Structure 1
Amino acid sequence: MKKSEESGYFTPPGGLPPQGALMTQRAVFTESYAVIPRGCFSDIVTSLLPGWRRTRLWVVARPLSGFAETFSQYLMEVQPGGGSDAPDAEAGAQHVLFVTAGEGTLTIGGQGYDLEAGSYAYIPAGMRWTLLAEGPRPLCFHWYRKLWEPAPGIDRPGPFVTNERAIPPVPMPDTQGRWATTRFVDPSDLRHDMHVNIVTFAPGGSIPFEETHVMEHGIYVLQGKAAYKLNRDWVEVEAGDFLWLRAFCPQACYAAGPDPFRYLLYKDVNRQARLRGLWALSPS
């Protein structure tokens, strides 16, 4: 793994470890969480997708019965000139893209947007979109997919594209700014049933209690390192690692090292708990 000199975001370079490398690392999959260390993002675990040209990806999360069930998350690498005119055949899926390296053009409903490191795009379910990688380097981004869940009196949100640099982080109360969140969506906007935020801890900052809640998480570490509490265990994490948490998995952390500890966070929000299965929207 390496960090883009321009952006500060870590992006998988692929390749394979040398034959002399130790195979023992920090990867673990438990009943309540998974840790996929940055060393696991090798060429032999990439996938291809129908409808995508000159593209490979790492699938780091997908719905699993009894574990985390609401979303998928891909780490995408699109070579210059590659992309897709039909990215996803799942009509009910909404999308979030967060760019970590490279340049591209995203078109949503006929409107074009320039993408660069730090770009964030929300694409509603049912809206046509295309993506083209441009520039001299691969376009690398996180792609989140979730079925949008209708609710009475709630309209679908509209598309938008912004950049992390345009959104000031909001400090958490009583933390003296050591813990802050960059929110791309207003938390009070009930049209959105998922949030993808960036969480930042200054060195020495912490989550000073064990968060235990219904929201599932996908956590990709963009920068820095930390000690992270997951269920009963403390694990060390660093830039390029991915953490996957099922609902109600206790979590806390301490930021360590000289750099800020920053991660991209997915969570499902703003909907009733389904009593007949996750996507049972009417009585059977």
Structure 2
Amino acid sequence: MKNGFPDKLLESRSIIKQGLYALITPEGLVNNSVPGFENCYVSILSSPRLGASFVDYIVTLYEGGHNKERGFAGDADVESFLYVVEGEVKVIAEDKEHTFTEGGYIYCPPGTKMFIENVNKGDSKVFLYKQKYKELEGQSKPWLVTGNANDIEEIEYEGTKEMRIKDLLPTDFAFDMNFHILTFDPGAGHPFIETHVQEHGAYLLSGEGVYNLDNEWVPVKKGDYIFMGPYVQQACYAVGRDKLSYVYSKDCNRDADL
């Protein structure tokens, strides 16, 4: 919920560069009335209107909040993903019930609807994603995946021990995307500025840093959301005393379209 009338000038750290990149800070988020979500604060972060090929959401489910009747995603060509930022939620998918706490996640393959319910005594917060699945001829279809990021071993990123990555989904060509968690020790950074065809939607879970976006260095911190479009230069340094960590999507395992 938002506070009342401010006691200072209106200001924002958010930056929108249509089709290139965006930094969206939590202070400017508004509630979107999305059919099926009851007793929830739903903010749509990325969408094709911004230039993304996917849709990202940050959803606060108040006590008793849910989408039990209508569900989320589920179209025949749409895949979806949920990550629990805080709290505890119950998810029903493919007629199976799962309970997830902080760090828990579920990937639903195309055609699978996700029913979400807050089972925490207080609020719960989830990061949601959906996109159209890109089928690969002769390849098996993706399957439902569940897990908790806290149970996954960190791997050094590009041989840099101060920067580590977790893969949340199988590295299998059945999947046309993956979700990762990238973690930086204080003072650590990318070994080089990346420039690539993949796009990202990233939600910062902890820490503070400065992010290179299209060769502009931008301060970022916990609770911020970053959209990075194709070929936009990108790299990060962690600053402050805490580790910087974010969960993000990446399209993969497919050739570029003509």
TM-score range, shorter chain: over 0.9
Per the TM alignment, residue 89 of structure 1 is displaced from its structure 2 partner at its CA by 5.6
| Preserved contact between residue 220 and residue 243 of structure 1 (Cα < 8 Å) | yes
Per the alignment, in what secondary structure is the counterpart of residue 249 of structure 2?
Answer: strand
> Given the alignment, which residue of 2, 13, 22 partners 1:34?
22
Partner of 2:86: 101
Partner Cα distance (2:23, 2:4) in 1: 19
Matched, 1:121 2:111: no
Q: TM-score, normalised by structure 2?
A: 0.93
Change (3 A) 1:105 1:227: same
Per the alignment, in what secondary structure is the counterpart of residue 186 of structure 2?
Answer: coil
Matched, 1:25 2:12: yes
| Preserved contact between residue 186 and residue 240 of structure 2 (Cα < 8 Å) | yes
Moved over 4 A (4+): none
Per the TM alignment, residue 21 of structure 1 is displaced from its structure 2 partner at its CA by 2.6
Partner Cα distance (2:32, 2:128) in 1: 14
| Preserved contact between residue 86 and residue 129 of structure 1 (Cα < 8 Å) | no
Partner of 1:8: none
Change (3 A) 1:240 1:94: same
Partner of 1:216: 199
Partner of 2:238: 255
Per the alignment, in what secondary structure is the counterpart of residue 27 of structure 2?
Answer: helix
Per the TM alignment, residue 82 of structure 1 is displaced from its structure 2 partner at its CA by 2.7
Structure 1 range deviating more: 131-140 or 201-210: 131-140
Which structure 2 residues correspond to residues 90-169 of structure 1 after superposition, within 5 A? Answer: 90-169=75-154
Partner of 1:183: 167
Partner Cα distance (2:130, 2:207) in 1: 26
Per the alignment, in what secondary structure is the counterpart of residue 210 of structure 1?
Answer: coil
Structure 1 range deviating more: 22-31 or 144-153: 22-31
Per the alignment, in what secondary structure is the counterpart of residue 39 of structure 1?
Answer: helix
Q: Deviations over 1:48-97 (max 9, x none)?
A: 211222222111100137x32x2100001222323123223633211110
Unaligned runs of 5+ in 2: none
Structure 1 range deviating more: 100-109 or 116-125: 100-109
| Preserved contact between residue 226 and residue 237 of structure 1 (Cα < 8 Å) | yes
Unaligned runs of 5+ in 1: 1-13, 276-284
Partner Cα distance (1:21, 1:229) in 2: 29
Partner of 1:280: none
Letter in 1 for 2:55: S
Per the alignment, in what secondary structure is the counterpart of residue 50 of structure 1?
Answer: coil
Per the TM alignment, residue 107 of structure 1 is displaced from its structure 2 partner at its CA by 1.2
Per the TM alignment, residue 211 of structure 1 is displaced from its structure 2 partner at its CA by 0.2
> Given the alignment, which residue of 44, 48, 53 partners 1:59?
44
Change (3 A) 1:80 1:25: closer
In angstroms, what is the RMSD of aligned CA positions?
A: 1.7
Per the TM alignment, residue 143 of structure 1 is displaced from its structure 2 partner at its CA by 0.5
| Preserved contact between residue 74 and residue 112 of structure 2 (Cα < 8 Å) | no
Which structure 2 residues correspond to residues 219-234 of structure 1 after superposition, within 5 A? Answer: 219-234=202-217
Letter in 2 for 1:170: I
Identity between Structure 1 and Structure 2 (%): 28
Matched, 1:78 2:66: no
Partner of 1:197: 180
| Preserved contact between residue 195 and residue 266 of structure 1 (Cα < 8 Å) | yes
Change (3 A) 1:190 1:58: same
Partner Cα distance (1:256, 1:73) in 2: 26
Change (3 A) 1:53 1:25: closer
Letter in 2 for 1:258: R
